Chains A and B, each alone.
Chain A
Amino acid sequence: MSRPRSRTAQRFGFLALLILTGWLQGCGLLIDAAELVVPVPALSDGVDVVCRHRQLQVGISVEPYPPFVFPVVQSPQGLSVTGLDLELVQHLGAAVSTYCGGTPIVVVPHVVHFRDLFRLLTEGQLDLFVSSVAYNVPHMKSAGLAYSAPYYPASGLSAIARRSDVVEHVRAALSRPAADAGVLERRRKALDGLIVAVQEGRSAHFYAAANLKGARLLLCDSITGAWQKQDPEVDVILGKEPVLNFLLTREDQLKDWQPVMLEDGSPFLLNREFFTVVMSERSFRLHWLVNDLLFELEESGRLAAMQRRWFEQDYRFAERAASEGLPAVIPPSVNPTAPSRCHWAQPQ
């Protein structure tokens, strides 16, 4: 008689356990109760790890974005990288050093693929990433990351063309009256039928894939790969306006190329982009530090001076890399000297 009773009790006990388990979604109350006894420690912030290790692990794109990030060069000190973004992270290293109580912080730039950004930041292998990343580009690859305040004046995606007849083709398309189309739609349609090259996995690619349905989209590893593409030749390269303008004035191989302009001489822009520093979502303190530093640099005029120094001065980037560049860390899986490849985008 006692055995069935024991079993009934056991079953009721198990049922009670199941019901209690079902209430576990309210375990926030358990944490509240635990905090009455001992405060639950806050999440470790990225900047604490930086202070402890005295190193700021910075990711930079394997594809160069002159003058924000120049190609890695071999200097007497080893592999070295320079650019506006690298100068910015040196300022940031100094700011973090102050935050860490004066402990010297070494900035270590890692050359990485942009596609690995989320994983490297979220897994704590990088503290931040800079390479003229626009935060306001809606795409899955942009999700789940934190973006600082912008460090460069609003720019956008623009285009350069190999031949003057392509520029004329675009201008002619823009001048055609279209009652039901706005300015932006007319600019997008002006690229219909052209071979448009973009850098794969960056904002120009996301923009073109989402909006340029009439263009033949060519995805290249780098901008260099786009202008070197011969068979077939690229009509238009779509990219970040400051980078394209800088390359047009400094790159010998682009002497035949020209910017696509509007009738009034203003740039052919397709959107607005704001370049920011990228961090992990949970690096709140580091986020504050970066924003504060950018505000200080902007208010003091030093940010504008940095921009003039990199955009307007005449210099050889290899010499700057040797004199003021940072030693670059290149993982075995990354080959900055690999030839750039292009392939057609899948039609959507």
Chain B
Amino acid sequence: MHYERSPRLLEDMGRPKVPTVGASPLTAPTCRLTICRWFIQWFLLTMLSMSMASQSFAQERLEILPIRPFNVDIALRQAFTPNDREIALQAGFTALTYGNFEIGATYQYFSLSSNEVQADVHSVYANPRWNNFLDILDFPTGTPINRLLRHVLFGPLEDRAVPFVGVIGGAVVAGPGSRAPTYLYGADVGVRFPVGHSIALEFTLGYFVYGLNFSGQGNDERQLLFTTGFFF
């Protein structure tokens, strides 16, 4: 697993450390409005992806809490000059499947420790996904776009890849500053390669927006997170 710091985070890390206790610059109604707006967008995206997923394969099974596939991702980084450390941990399981539609539930821990920034962020989020979304491009008849894309992207594994897009929505349960609990949202795209015997290799690129920043001063910390690992 690899975290790529957003420009905002790098910018914050260069600043002198400031006290994190204080009133939020956002008033409570504004914050509620932002969360409400975001939840509406998230809900609409979820419904859209669910309807598209269910169209792609009729008479699907609805599996609630199948748990599998589940995953644990760990990333560690320790620098010594200057002393700087990052720890990231993600653990997730499948909460619901319906044909090509799938919802994962994930706990994410991100710890950043340097001379300037001390942040421990605990988050939980849901990740509704639309698997095999490329198959909606099953036209024109002669050379379907989905077959072309599969071949270009996955080569000899074109019939064994499960590409997906998803949205991310949840909450930062604890973090620096006084904003937590606050929202967390984003989106992800990736591909799963079922290997066999309930093991799959998965590559995911996720974009996360947190309702706080890691210095504890503002909001909307953003991160790109690329994970690769096995799902069981």
Contact = CB atoms under 8 A, between A and B. Distances in A.
Contacts of B83: 7, 10
A57 B58 CA distance: 11
B19 to A, nearest CB: 22
Interface stretch (A115-123, A239-247, A318-326): A115-123
A331 B56 contact: yes
B114 to A, nearest CB: 13
Interface string A25-51: 000000000000000000110000100
B162 A119 contact: yes
A195 interface: no
B197 A282 contact: yes
A281 B195 CA distance: 10
Given A49-B63, A116-B159, A119-B159, A125 B197 contact: no
B135 A282 contact: no
B48 interface: no
Interface string A49-92: 10001010100000000000000000000000000000000000
A53 B156 CA distance: 34
B145 to A, nearest CB: 12
A49 B78 CA distance: 45
B70 to A, nearest CB: 12
B68 A123 contact: no
A55 B61 contact: yes
A57 B61 contact: yes
Contact of A21 (B56, B76, B195, B196): B76
A108 B57 CA distance: 13
A329 B58 contact: yes
A101 interface: no
Contact of B194 (A10, A123, A331): A123
Interface in A308-348: 329-333, 338, 341
Interface string A5-36: 00100110010011001000000000000000
A141 interface: yes
Nearest to A331: B57
A144 interface: yes
A159 to B, nearest CB: 27
Nearest to B59: A329
B59 A125 contact: no
Nearest to B60: A125
Contacts of A57: 59, 61
A331 B53 CA distance: 11
Interface in B86-104: 97, 99-100
A11 B135 contact: no
Interface in A135-151: 140-141, 144
B58 A123 contact: no
Contacts of B56: 331-333
A14 to B, nearest CB: 5
Contacts of A102: none
A120 B17 CA distance: 53
B59 A44 contact: no
B113 to A, nearest CB: 10
Nearest to A127: B61
A175 to B, nearest CB: 41
Interface in B129-187: 131-132, 135, 138, 141-142, 156, 159-162
A125 B57 contact: yes
Nearest to B150: A115
Contacts of A43: 68, 198
A11 B80 contact: yes
A7 B195 CA distance: 43
A332 B59 CA distance: 12
B196 A144 contact: yes
A49 B80 contact: no
A332 B55 contact: yes
A153 interface: no
A214 interface: no
A193 interface: no
Interface of B: 55-61, 63, 66, 68, 74, 76, 78, 80, 83, 85, 97, 99-100, 131-132, 135, 138, 141-142, 156, 159-162, 194-198
6 contacts: A10-B83, A43-B198, A53-B61, A110-B57, A119-B160, A341-B142
Given A110-B59, A123-B194, A333-B135, 5 more contacts: A17-B76, A44-B66, A44-B68, A57-B59, A119-B159
User: Which 9 pairs between the two chains have the least Cβ-Cβ distance?
Assistant: A122-B194, A144-B196, A333-B138, A115-B159, A329-B58, A331-B57, A14-B78, A281-B196, A53-B61
